[in-house]
Chain A
Amino acid sequence: MGNRGTTNANSKRVQQEDVPVLKSHNNLRRDSLCLKKIRGSPGDVYSLNFVFSCTFDCIITIQLCASEFRSAEKDAPTLYFYTPPELENGSFQYKFSKGAIHEFPEKAFTLDFNKYDLEDMTTYKEDEYCPIVITIENQGRNIPQVYRHKCLMLILTKNSRGEYNILIKKQCLLFDKNIFKIEDIYGFEKQDDTGDFGDESTKECIICYTNTKNTVVYPCRHICLCNSCTQVVRMQNSKCPICRLEAEKFITVEIDKQDAEEEVNLYS
Chain B
Amino acid sequence: MITPRIKKETERLSTDPIVGIYATPDETNFRHFHVQISGPADTPYNGGLFKAELFLPDEYPMVPPKVLFRTKIFHPNIDKLGRICLDILKKNWSPALQIRAVLVSIQSLLSDANLDDPLDEEVAELFKTDPEAAEEKARQWTLDYANE
**Contact with B3, one of A206, A208, A224 (Cβ below 8 angstroms):** A208
Write out the residue numbers on chain A whose beta carbons fall within 8 Å of the beta carbon of B8: 197, 209
Chain B count of residues within 8 A CB distance of the other chain: 12
Instruction: Judge whether A242 and B3 touch: CB under 8 Å.
Output: no
Q: Bound complex: CA of A265 vs CA of B86, how far in Å?
A: 37
Q: What is the chain A residue whose CB lies nearest that of B92?
A: A244
Instruction: Judge whether A232 and B96 touch: CB under 8 Å.
Output: no
Instruction: Judge whether A241 and B5 touch: CB under 8 Å.
Output: no
B63 to chain A, nearest CB (A): 9
B18 to chain A, nearest CB (A): 13
Instruction: Judge whether B4 and A206 touch: CB under 8 Å.
Output: no
What's the A-B contact tally at a CB cutoff of 8 Å?
Answer: 32
Instruction: Judge whether A244 and B95 touch: CB under 8 Å.
Output: no
DSSP majority for the A interface?
A: loop
Write out the residue numbers on chain A whose beta carbons fall within 8 Å of the beta carbon of B61: 207
Write out the residue numbers on chain A whose beta carbons fall within 8 Å of the beta carbon of B12: 197
Write out the residue numbers on chain B whose beta carbons fall within 8 Å of the beta carbon of A197: 8, 12
Do A244 and B62 form a contact, CB below 8 Å, given A209-B5, A209-B8, A210-B4? no
Instruction: Judge whether B95 and A207 touch: CB under 8 Å.
Output: yes
**Most-contacted residue by chain A among B4, B9, B92, B95 (CB, 10 A):** B95
Instruction: Judge whether B94 and A236 touch: CB under 8 Å.
Output: no
Instruction: Judge whether B62 and A236 touch: CB under 8 Å.
Output: yes
Do A242 and B4 form a contact, CB below 8 Å, given A197-B12, A232-B62? no
**Contact with A242, one of B9, B92, B94 (Cβ below 8 angstroms):** B94
Instruction: Judge whether A207 and B5 touch: CB under 8 Å.
Output: yes
Instruction: Judge whether A233 and B4 touch: CB under 8 Å.
Output: no
Q: Bound complex: CA of A236 vs CA of B93, how far in Å?
A: 13
Q: Bound complex: CA of A242 vs CA of B97, how far in Å?
A: 9
B11 to chain A, nearest CB (A): 10
Q: Mark A232-268, 1 if CB is under 8 A from B, else 0.
A: 1100100101101000000000000000000000000
Q: Bound complex: CA of A241 vs CA of B3, how far in Å?
A: 19
Q: What is the chain A residue whose CB lies nearest that of B98?
A: A196
Instruction: Judge whether A210 and B62 touch: CB under 8 Å.
Output: no
Write out the residue numbers on chain B whose beta carbons fall within 8 Å of the beta carbon of A244: 92, 94
19 contacts between A and B (CB under 8 A): A197-B8, A206-B96, A207-B5, A207-B61, A207-B95, A208-B4, A208-B5, A209-B5, A210-B4, A210-B5, A224-B96, A232-B62, A233-B62, A233-B95, A241-B94, A241-B96, A242-B94, A242-B96, A244-B94
Q: Which residues does B use to contact A, with CB under 8 Å?
A: 3-5, 8-9, 12, 61-62, 92, 94-96
